[in-house]
Amino acid sequence: MAKTEKFERKIAVTGGAGFIGSNLLLYLVSRYPRYFFVNIDCLTYAGNLSNLISIEKAPNYRFEKIDICDYAAVSACFEKYDFDGLIHLAAESHVDRSIAGPAEFVKTNVIGTFNLLEAARQKIARGGNFRFHHVSTDEVFGSLGESGYFGESTPYNPNSPYSATKAGSDHLVRAYHKTYGLDAVTTNCSNNYGPYQFPEKLIPLMIRNAKAGLPLPVYGDGRNIRDWLYVEDHCRAIDLVFHRGKSGKTYNIGGHNEIENIELVRLVCRLMDEILGGEPREKLITYVTDRPGHDRRYAIDASFIENELGWKPQYSFEQGIRRTVTWYLENEVWLENCVSGQYLKYYEKMYSNR
């Protein structure tokens, strides 16, 4: 067993080298010096340990390079640290990649989650408390029309291979709670944005392309709507639900911030024009073939987490998007390091014939 006795709690965070995981660990490791955090991540293209340089030597943080699809490794790690909690973020997360190749999504999102649930089941069988916090998405609910919101009791209706695998993992978590009494909570969050997001996702992709004078590829008519939430607000919500969420409950998290993709891209262009000067970047906007099965609108009713746990987003969209654009412009080296040969191949495949 690792020497962690002096800590109050030992918590595993899977996917801690990804976008939300990194922001979460940067937030939690300093906020809870009496907790010990183990970042379990196999470092796919989306995992980047350089995000975590400021905490890598912290006494209450450790990294374990483990693939959650490898049950023996997961189980050994659980035995080594004797965790009493897990915040599960590891996943294949990009919808377009799931359309091009769903197999990895089934493996990591379904089998990987199953392995963690099994390790948790073994842990409770040995005795002691264990809280399983599953981080999921609003995409499990499918697509909204012009009105209405996703609530906690909205029926599941996933449309992409990504959302279908996340839905499968949500169901497994619920089943382990009901069947084995696992203390589990699930959060279903809307689109996050902010620092450390891989530049395959809409906002960092647009910032990077606009900076380089490349086309800004808008899918379909550009009128699909997403409900954007600044990543730090999501991290605060996870912190609250992990500590105070009711066992067996699910919590929807969203920014009350619906915006059409085309409006968002125009806004990013205007901010970049203001900061960098030069020709208006809106002229780079290029409409391209739509994403197959593209969900039209997502919008979250977050009243349950607001009323139950007192959560509210702290960042307005104006603040969050300005911080985000500024962060990517100031962290050009980080951005360009993500864009390795692998990413260029992906970009070519995804966008060359659209």
We find the least distance from the C-beta atom of residue 294 to ligand DAU, in angstroms, to be 6
Q: What sign results for the dihedral spanned by CA atoms 65, 69, 71, 75? A: positive
Residue 25 CB coordination number (10 Å): 25
State how far the alpha carbon of 303 is from the alpha carbons of 13, 151, 188, 220, in Å: 27, 9, 13, 32
Burial degree of 39 (CB within 10 A; 0-12, 13-18, 19+): buried
182's contact among ligand DAU, ligand NAD, none, with CB below 5 to 8 A by partner kind, is none
Sort residue 258 into left (φ over 0), alpha (ψ -120 to 50) or beta.
Answer: beta
Partners of 86 in beta bridges: 12, 132
CA distance 156 to 106: 17
HSE-up (13 A, CA, CB side) for residue 126: 13
CA distance 250 to 312: 17
Nearer to ligand NAD, 21 or 313 (CB): 21
Site for ligand NAD in 195-234 (CB under 6 A): 198
We find the least distance from the C-beta atom of residue 48 to ligand NAD, in angstroms, to be 7
At residue 200's C-alpha, the angle toward residues 198 and 202, to 5°, is 100
46's contact among ligand DAU, ligand NAD, none, with CB below 5 to 8 A by partner kind, is ligand NAD
Site for ligand NAD in 110-129 (CB under 6 A): 112
Rounding to the nearest 10 degrees, give the CA dihedral for residues 8, 12, 18, 19.
-40
Q: Tell me: does residue 95 bind ligand DAU (CB under 6 A).
A: yes
Nearer to ligand DAU, 286 or 337 (CB): 286
Q: What are phi and psi of 38, to 5 degrees?
A: -115, 120
202's contact among ligand DAU, ligand NAD, none, with CB below 5 to 8 A by partner kind, is ligand DAU
Whether 318 sits among the annotated catalytic residues: the reply is no
Whether 287 sits among the annotated catalytic residues: the reply is no
Site string (8-47) toward ligand DAU, x via CB under 6 A = ----------------------------------------
- Catalytic residue of the set 64, 139, 232, 239: 139
We find the least distance from the C-beta atom of residue 192 to ligand DAU, in angstroms, to be 7
166, 177, 266, 297: which one binds ligand NAD (CB under 6 A): 166
Nearest-10 crossing angle of helices 71-81, 113-126: 40
- Catalytic residue of the set 64, 67, 92, 138: 138
Tell me the two tokens of residue 315.
């960042």
CA distance 271 to 247: 43
What amino acid is encoded at 328 in this protein? Y
We find the least distance from the C-beta atom of residue 202 to ligand DAU, in angstroms, to be 3
164's contact among ligand DAU, ligand NAD, none, with CB below 5 to 8 A by partner kind, is none
Site string (185-224) toward ligand DAU, x via CB under 6 A = -----xx---------xx--x-----------xxx----x
CA distance 248 to 178: 8
Site string (20-49) toward ligand NAD, x via CB under 6 A = xx-------------------xxxx-xx--
Q: What are phi and psi of 327, to 5 degrees?
A: -60, -45
We find the least distance from the C-beta atom of residue 299 to ligand NAD, in angstroms, to be 14
Q: Tell me: does residue 19 bind ligand NAD (CB under 6 A).
A: yes
Whether 138 sits among the annotated catalytic residues: the reply is yes
Q: Which of 311, 263, 297 is nearest to 148 (CA)?
A: 297
Active site residues: 138-139, 162
- The residue ranges that bind ligand NAD (CB under 6 A) are 14-15, 17-21, 41-44, 46-47, 67-69, 89-93, 108, 112, 135-137, 166, 189, 191-192, 198
Residues forming contacts to ligand DAU in the complex (CB under 6 A) are 93-95, 137-139, 190-191, 201-202, 205, 217-219, 224, 226, 261, 291, 298
